[in-house]
Structure 1
Amino acid sequence: MSNANLFAALRAAFPADLDACAIECADGDALSYSWRDIERATAMLANLLLSLELPAGSRIAVQTEKSVEALMLYLAVLRAGYVYLPLNTAYQAAELEYFIANAEPAVLVCAGKHFGWASKLAFQAGCQYVFTLNEDRTGSLLDRASFMSDQHEIAAKRSDDLAAILYTSGTTGRSKGAMLSHGNLLSNARTLKDYWGWQPGDVLIHALPIFHVHGLFIASHGALLNGSKMIWFSRFEPRAVIARFAEASVFMGVPTLYVRMLAEAALTREACAPMRLFISGSAPLLIETFRDWQQRSGHTILERYGMSETLMLTSNPYEDMERVGGTVGFALPGVGVRVHNDAGELCAADEIGHIEVRGPNVFAGYWRMPEKTREEFTADGWFKTGDVGKQDARGYFHIVGRSKDLIISGGYNVYPAEIEGWLNEMPGVAESAVVGVPHPDFGEAVIAVLVARPGAAPEPAALIAALKSKIANFKVPKQVFVVKELPRNAMGKVQKNLLRDQHRGLFA
């Protein structure tokens, strides 16, 4: 039986010339890494993990800044047969404490500057090992791995074996861990390789974070499975990225990155001429951005749709048909996507309903949440995305809203219930409502509207400062408003649509 380990498939796609450049760092020390470097480093890191004699299925939690070594660590976890758990670098101690308690990782890898508090949380929760990994290739992880053999036999895995857990917040309560298998990840990577027309000689500009689906899986797997070089940016810098279009062919970004590049005079048709494909996802692309990019660059952005639980499920076409702005294209080959109304019936063309999906890309369920998993699947096995949309007469899917009240700011998911939970515990706050409003740069900005307790006068700036010490900065409201009462309907439910309308022009 062939080995279904995702790393085995990625390794098999390495080019014959292992000394060719695989990753070139575009900032910092301008280093380059060969395919042989990836082979050797992942073997050494895998051997380090194996030397710890961890139980089968152990989770390896990682909260580090973006680096090539961090990508190699991810590949090494796959290679060794363990489960990768990426954590947003913006998460604060209270958030990390929850993830460690819930996932019970055997190993935590963190930035050296966070070792003091992160290791304390980890050891208190029973995590056995804590290593450090820094942006400048220092840290105890690499120190220990340097003594390991650079020969390693890839761990044998079945297609349905767990490869990664991605935490995705819910609309109520705390985050849920979406369990993704080797088969989920590999099937989606192979589908996208064909659908997006990856070609020999393609070069990817990698300017996304590597703690979520877009940067870690869609971008990295795409390049690795095609044996393509990556031009690696540890942080997105619009002018520097545009300057590298001359040496590349593929770019993937969230809408915010496209907005920022459009603000640069260097973005011209001439600068973009060498490029083959621009892909956008993780948040809705405004039709203005879609059209402005067409005009300025001469390219039409390919918008697609996915989520942590399903990876990619739809995409605008690469060729043969038109890429339509304001849509997320068609269901990918082998993936079923349907729109159901409240009665559970299939919607007619252009009728708005609930989007559901099934296919080899769809996750197995939520980590240690069997009841929640059952709730999120229909009786006939389709996953309820929680998104509201429609399929038009030509077959293109449109996302029109989010039934789970999700805010997407700068490509990052923000769930109001989580922020409201923090706010409602703060001194002087009786209740709060968090909504997203249009923002020219981030797509949506988070704002909070709250009611004070009798006799109290909570200060918005102080509340924002307090939140910044507790949660990731992208979740912190840009503005807080104190009102006498929140608008409610006859059932007593807060009417967030009225709050959104009231503050719609706040950042215009």
Structure 2
Amino acid sequence: MSDNHNLFAALRAAFPADLDKPAIEVLDGPAAGSVYSWRDLDRATAMMANLIDSLALPPASRIAVQTEKSVEALVLYLAVLRAGHVFLPLNTAYQEAEIAYFIGNAEPAMVVCAPKNFTWVSRIAFSSGTAHVFTLGDDRTGSLLERAAHHGDQHTPAVRQADELAAILYTSGTTGRSKGAMLSHGNLLSNAQVLKSYWDWQPRDVLIHALPIFHVHGLFVASHGALLNGSTMLWLNKFEPKTVIAQFPRATVFMGVPTLYVRMLGEAALTKAQTAHMRLFISGSAPLLVETFDAWTERTGHVILERYGMSETVMLTSNPCRATDGARQRGTVGPALPGVGVRVVRDDGNACDTDEIGHIQVQGPNVFAGYWRMPEKTAEEFTTDASGGRWFKTGDVGKRAADGFITIVGRSKDLIISGGYNVYPAEIEGFINEMPGVAESAVVGVPHPDFGEGVIAVVVAKPGATLDAAAMVAKLKTQIANFKVPKHLFVVADLPRNAMGKVQKNLLRDQHKGLFA
């Protein structure tokens, strides 16, 4: 298989010699208690790949999938790779108008949806020229499994080159239309192999998989990690803090977004004794508050490993895993992963000094080729400097310390320019989050007649705490320059978030856009 760069072939080659060992154990949902062996995964992906082959789809067809999380949904992803087509996962929260855009833009040859959505999804798909629409439920029902059951359980993986498309991931689209990031077999495999080594995956490792699988974090980082290491996954369709904590004595690796760590810290069962068997806790997809980082260390004795990646690049940087590689640093996302280039530049493209805030740009075998059917947008998002090759402009703003550790300060689109001064929301949020009684905050800029943009803060109190907005603003005036101090501070019950736990600042900007009118 050495001349076949199909990602599935590499994952299949990593299956343990004993195919009857457990690969996935389901802990919740309709299939709770089910155990899938490695042989089950091999046979099920073969049957689904054979079904896909029988449809005689054009080469490298897009297969769009919007289903609830289940082992069968993961099997479908692997089967699409195995058959040599392009997997297009869609967030389960997307509604009709959004699905219509994605199907119209990607023109998939095949769509798989939840049985309850078949009526409206199939209407959109068929009217867009999609030939095949199947259903897949999280309870092992649906036409996809019914049809696949009639196919054989042997299948030779399609031959694919490293630069051929494996998946298209649509970005969350907080500004303008969602863009389809085109990821190749080589992008995904190179990143999975680097993480296997850098995160020191061990033969005994067991992963608790509690993330969605329509996103880089759950579908690629977590699933590929376990599959490439031949590790058992303890599978949760939905995150439930008590259930996860109860599984720590059986597991060694957990990956989560910051919200999951906050929710587990709210459980009395989270103790040093309960986490004693665990080897590694990883956090990503959104910034981890220093307070959460410290509270987790105090409660469990474990230091969370923070890392940084994007839909377009998979993982880029990571705090060290092995003690021999150095200590993990709170508030940072670590240095660049092996083989990945990360640089911080000024507006004019010149390199920033140590600890100077600038634009983060990246290159490496993990970086995507471009956006689906958006050549102008693709050209815009990459540099063209002849000397240093092609760098992807992440849109993130940050700084690099003397030791190479990267600190993310925010998104360039979140940068507030007030009265001609640059204001970085993350800096102000850091001061607000340290105040007594504050659970979290979000700082945004909204139109202002005098300053161009006015700084405002939206703050959530801890349970039982009462916050005094005026006193908080007065305190900030003693800590930061006046142009950075929020002109209004609102105390709210919670912040709007997307499915990966990221605060949706665009919604906050919309909500308050008329404040200074």
TM-score by length of 1: 0.83
CA distance in 2, matches of 1:387, 1:442: 24
- Tell me the equivalent position of 2:268: 265
Q: How does 1:97-496 map to 2 (within 5 A)?
A: 97-319=100-322, 320=324, 321-379=326-384, 380-405=389-414, 486-489=447-450, 493=452, 495=453
| Pairwise CA distance, 1:488 | 3.8
CA distance in 2, matches of 1:70, 1:443: 34
User: Which secondary structure state, in structure 1, belongs to the residue aligned with residue 18 of structure 2?
Assistant: coil
User: Which secondary structure state, in structure 2, belongs to the residue aligned with residue 244 of structure 1?
Assistant: helix
Give, as a single letter, the amino acid of the residue that structure 1 aligns with 2:287. Answer: P
CA distance in 2, matches of 1:394, 1:288: 23
Identity level (%): 68
- Tell me the equivalent position of 2:420: none
User: Which secondary structure state, in structure 2, belongs to the residue aligned with residue 23 of structure 1?
Assistant: strand
CA distance in 2, matches of 1:75, 1:496: 48
Aligned-residue CA RMSD (Å): 2.1
CA distance in 2, matches of 1:383, 1:179: 13
CA distance in 1, matches of 2:396, 2:114: 35
Going from structure 1 to structure 2, the CA distance change for 1:149 and 1:166 (only over 3 Å counts) comes to: same
| Pairwise CA distance, 1:173 | 2.0
- Tell me the equivalent position of 1:506: 492
| Pairwise CA distance, 1:503 | 3.8
Equivalent residues of 2:445, 2:454 under 8 A apart: no
| Pairwise CA distance, 1:506 | 2.9
CA distance in 2, matches of 1:129, 1:297: 49
Give, as a single letter, the amino acid of the residue that structure 1 aligns with 2:298. Answer: Q
- Tell me the equivalent position of 1:27: 28
Going from structure 1 to structure 2, the CA distance change for 1:391 and 1:231 (only over 3 Å counts) comes to: same
Gaps of 5+ in 2: 416-431, 459-485, 495-517
Going from structure 1 to structure 2, the CA distance change for 1:306 and 1:444 (only over 3 Å counts) comes to: farther
Q: How does 1:83-102 map to 2 (within 5 A)?
A: 83-102=86-105
Equivalent residues of 2:397, 2:408 under 8 A apart: yes
Going from structure 1 to structure 2, the CA distance change for 1:50 and 1:190 (only over 3 Å counts) comes to: same
Equivalent residues of 2:319, 2:333 under 8 A apart: yes
- Tell me the equivalent position of 2:471: none
| Pairwise CA distance, 1:442 | 9.8
| Pairwise CA distance, 1:342 | 1.0
Gaps of 5+ in 1: 407-436, 450-485
CA distance in 2, matches of 1:333, 1:504: 43
| Pairwise CA distance, 1:145 | 0.2
User: Which secondary structure state, in structure 1, belongs to the residue aligned with residue 168 of structure 2?
Assistant: strand
Give, as a single letter, the amino acid of the residue that structure 2 aligns with 1:65. Answer: E
Going from structure 1 to structure 2, the CA distance change for 1:506 and 1:242 (only over 3 Å counts) comes to: same
Equivalent residues of 1:112, 1:139 under 8 A apart: yes
Deviates more, 1:351-360 or 1:388-397: 388-397
CA distance in 2, matches of 1:308, 1:398: 19
Equivalent residues of 1:302, 1:318 under 8 A apart: yes
CA distance in 2, matches of 1:65, 1:23: 17
Give, as a single letter, the amino acid of the residue that structure 1 aligns with 2:10. Answer: A
User: Which secondary structure state, in structure 2, belongs to the residue aligned with residue 242 of structure 1?
Assistant: helix
CA distance in 1, matches of 2:439, 2:165: 33
Deviations 1:364-404 (A, max 9, x none): 00000001000000113000000000001222100001113
| Pairwise CA distance, 1:444 | 6.4
- Tell me the equivalent position of 2:506: none
- Tell me the equivalent position of 1:480: none
CA distance in 2, matches of 1:445, 1:130: 41
| Pairwise CA distance, 1:30 | 1.0
Give, as a single letter, the amino acid of the residue that structure 2 aligns with 1:195. Answer: Y
User: Which secondary structure state, in structure 1, belongs to the residue aligned with residue 194 of structure 2?
Assistant: helix
Which has the bigger relative contact order, CA under 8 A and spacing at least 6?
A: 1
CA distance in 1, matches of 2:249, 2:210: 16
The answer as to 2:19 corresponding to 1:18 is yes
| Pairwise CA distance, 1:441 | 11
Going from structure 1 to structure 2, the CA distance change for 1:361 and 1:504 (only over 3 Å counts) comes to: farther
Equivalent residues of 1:256, 1:441 under 8 A apart: no
Going from structure 1 to structure 2, the CA distance change for 1:41 and 1:153 (only over 3 Å counts) comes to: same
CA distance in 1, matches of 2:180, 2:261: 30
| Pairwise CA distance, 1:312 | 0.3
- Tell me the equivalent position of 2:466: none
| Pairwise CA distance, 1:172 | 3.6
User: Which secondary structure state, in structure 2, belongs to the residue aligned with residue 349 of structure 1?
Assistant: coil
Going from structure 1 to structure 2, the CA distance change for 1:322 and 1:488 (only over 3 Å counts) comes to: farther
Give, as a single letter, the amino acid of the residue that structure 1 aligns with 2:169. Answer: L
CA distance in 2, matches of 1:164, 1:196: 24
The answer as to 2:7 corresponding to 1:6 is yes
